[in-house]
Amino acid sequence: MLFEKDRATFLTDGRYETQSKAQVKGAGIVIFKKMLNAVKSLAVEHKLNKIAFESAHMTYSLWTDLQQSLGNAELIPLKDETRKMRYVKDRYEVDAMKKGAVLAREAFLAVKDRVRAGVREKEIALELEVEARKRGADKVAFDIIVASGENSALPHAVPGEREVRPGDLVVLDFGVLLDGYHTDETCTFRVGDVGGKADEIYNIVKAAHDLAIAAVRPGMKASDVDKVARDYISEKGYGQYFGHGTGHGVGLEIHELPVISGVSDELIQEGMVFTIEPGIYLPSLGGVRIEDMVLVTGEGCEIITECNKFM
């Protein structure tokens, strides 16, 4: 895409000519044989002397090719400027994510009872993905995480051949993509009698999750939301076992701004959608993460996801 003050142009090759004419709205369409030649032609035709680009999404080789192709045009690297344009979601975007959350809930409820002793992590992940697709999801939002026992102490574990065992903590992190927008939530199951320590960290994480959600207000710093959850977990003696941020924005991408972490200076705004997902991970025992998506309102926030209601 090339955006100018008063126009936008979508560039693609011949494979997508028919599709782009059917799907692209609000932009002119250029079908190219060589992308660099098409960009150069537009730059010359429209007398573009400065062209900004999303530096996080461009390879070094493409940047050097553009430099050589565009000649005198100045290439300006952007950092988060375009991402910040998506800080606040409009009604259509919120409705799309709410619709996705309902679909994810239905898929979750269809497989919830499969999280039991004797079932492999891979099986649970596959069945959840199938149920989501059957209900109309375009695809899952990311590779589903099913982590049982000692694997649950790995925040980004990959589902494997391990079978769920009595006494396990099982972390299930999942989401769907629907109408271009993502959902993201995490539930932690306790399979049978998990013991006092596992119950303790589950209750601490759940309390930290609830406290952080209750604290969300427009105008506060994202770091202060993180601090609510992190301070509670630290007060309970497990601060060193909570090693990631408390949340992140969700929308067209699964990870967007704002970042809800201790080093974030971003201000919470009405209309933002982000996750709250504190966790405790004990290498010798397992881990707990409880995650929901929230929509910031004028007075606080609304929880979008619903699966933790059924835990």
Among 56, 79, 102, give the residue marking a domain's end.
79
182, 193 contact by CB (below 8 A)? no
Instruction: Residue 26: give the domain boundaries.
Output: 2-79
Residue 118 CB: number of other CB atoms within 10 A?
Answer: 9
- β partners of residue 188: 171
The CATH number that applies at residue 10 is 3.40.350.10
Number of domains in the chain: 2
What are the Cα distances from residue 263, in Å, to 4, 258, 293?
A: 34, 12, 20
Quick one: 183 and 300 in the same domain?
Answer: yes
Count the neighbouring beta carbons within 10 Å of the beta carbon of residue 290.
22
Q: Are residues 182 and 54 in the same domain?
A: no
100 and 244 co-located in one domain: yes
pLDDT number for residue 54: 92
| Closest C-alpha to 225, from 250, 201, 206, 208 | 208
- In-domain check, residue 210: yes
Length of the chain: 311
pLDDT of res. 279: 98
18 lies in the same domain as 103: no
User: What is residue 70's predicted lDDT score, i.e. its pLDDT?
Assistant: 87
> Count of CB atoms within 10 A of residue 151's CB?
21
Give Cα 207 to chain centroid, integer Å. Answer: 22
The angle at the Cα of 192, spanning 191 to 198, to the nearest 5 degrees, equals 70
Per-residue pLDDT at 311 = 80
20 and 157, same domain (yes or no): no
Per-residue pLDDT of the chain (311 residues; tens, 9 = 90+): 999 999 999 999 999 999 999 999 999 999 999 999 999 999 999 999 999 999 988 999 999 998 888 878 899 999 989 899 999 999 999 999 999 999 999 999 999 999 999 999 999 999 999 999 999 999 999 999 999 999 999 999 999 999 999 999 999 999 999 999 999 999 999 999 999 999 999 999 999 999 999 999 999 999 999 999 999 999 999 999 999 999 999 999 999 999 999 999 999 999 999 999 999 999 989 999 999 999 999 999 999 999 998 88
Closest listed residue to residue 29, CA positions, set 17, 44, 46: 17
60 and 119 belong to one structural domain: no
Cross-strand pairs, 286 = 282
Q: Within 10 Å of residue 46's Cβ, how many Cβ atoms?
A: 11
| CATH code at position 125 | 3.90.230.10
DSSP 289-305: E-BEEEEE-SSSEEE--
Does 162 share its domain with 286? yes
Q: What is the pLDDT of residues 18-38, one digit of tens each?
A: 999 999 999 999 999 999 999
165/66 same-domain check = no
For 15, the token pair is 């494979």
Global pTM? Answer: 0.92
187-216 tens-digit pLDDT: 999 999 999 999 999 999 999 999 999 999
Q: Are residues 253 and 128 in the same domain?
A: yes
CB atoms within 10 A of CB 261: 18
Are 173 and 45 part of one and the same domain? no
